[in-house]
Amino acid sequence: MNTHVVIDSPVGPLTLVADGPELVGLYMNQQRHRPEDETFGAPGDPEDEPFASTASQLAAYFTGDRHEFDLPLKLKGTPFQQRVWEALTRIPYGETVSYGELAAELGNPSASRAVGLANGRNPIGIIVPCHRVVGSTGSLTGYGGGIERKRFLLDFERSHHPAEESAALF
């Protein structure tokens, strides 16, 4: 049974949704493909897990002190969506890849549109960093949280990105 809490962030309120000890959702207000609020379950206790750890790690992320997350996640989607979302977690902090590059990594270079659709359905934004995927020209396209939020997250990560950590994507 799902429970949820709402926390503040620099990109606006974030709704965290848990199924027991696992985080199953992180949604922004007015996010495209945001489920109906009724699906989030009853209000949870912000001091309970995984809410407390998620809020703590997000706070550290938004100060530039955390570049990776270590949380129990349960990503609910098709097998293809899950493959895309897992690949998103390998995109280094402060870097971007194109939809085509991600499709090629998944073994199907012609599937950039399908990758984009799966990316748009990512249920755990920020933590599963779908904001790090851009158009083939580097354009900021296709972010369910809105282009301004995507720009904010990418600019924030670039400004807090230690150059010596820069590495190839895959």
Question: Does the annotation mark 44 as catalytic?
Answer: no
**123, 81 Cβ separation under 8 angstroms:** no
> How far is CA 69 from its chain centroid?
10
The pairs formed by 112-120 with CB atoms below 8 angstroms and a separation of 24 or more are: 112/136, 114/80, 115/84, 116/142, 118/77, 118/78, 118/80, 118/81, 118/84, 118/85, 119/84, 119/88, 120/32, 120/33, 120/144
* Annotated catalytic residue, options 102, 130, 133, 153: 130
Residue with tokens 């820069």: 166
Residue type, 5: V
CA dihedral 74, 79, 84, 85 (to 10 degrees): 0
Mapped onto helix, strand or coil, the DSSP state of residue 78 is: coil
**132, 91 Cβ separation under 8 angstroms:** yes
Give residues with Cβ within 8 angstroms of 104, minimum separation 6.
none
Give the residue numbers marked as catalytic: 130
